[in-house]
Amino acid sequence: MKQNLRWIIYISIGLAFGVADYYIETATRQFLTYPLLMFIGLIWIIPSALVALYEIRKSNSRKRAIIASTLVWVVGVTVYYIFYSLMLALDDRVTTYPWSDNLLDIAFWGITAIVGGIVVGFLTTTFYRMLSKNKQ
């Protein structure tokens, strides 16, 4: 049961981060320059790495940590674009919106999230194992 609860928590982290990122970008959009935008994009690494670290400590499985890291990132990206679409649908100032563009964004950033989650999960578990060996 505890194991299943962890995965529900990982999905919840992705959900919360997807919505939070929408508000972070909305609040900072007027101040964004390209380098700052890149930095804000790197924020996506934080929940992914923390989840991978937690999972490797609990399960001692690199595979599970990578899957958890990827799951958080993919759920976050998907929720971000669904929430973004919902906000546009509720905005009276937007008269038409090409929903197919949003689907392409979900596909592109979903693939990016899969690759990013795998890389972040792998690197996090590698560093964790290296540091754990050095402690002993």
Tokens of 30: 């007027």
Q: Which of 12-26, 48-62, 64-78, 116-130 has the lowest mean pLDDT?
A: 12-26
Number of domains in the chain: 1
- For residue 85, give the H/E element and its range: helix 62-90
pLDDT tens digit string along 38-81? 666 678 889 999 999 999 999 999 999 999 999 999 999 999 98
Nearest to 14 by CA among 84, 86, 71: 71
Of 83, 71, 93, which is closest to residue 11 (Cα–Cα)? 71
Q: Is the pLDDT of residue 3 over 70?
A: yes
Q: How many C-beta atoms lie closer than 10 Å to residue 125's C-beta? A: 24
Task: Please state the pTM of the whole predicted model.
Answer: 0.84
Domain, as residue range, for 70: 2-135
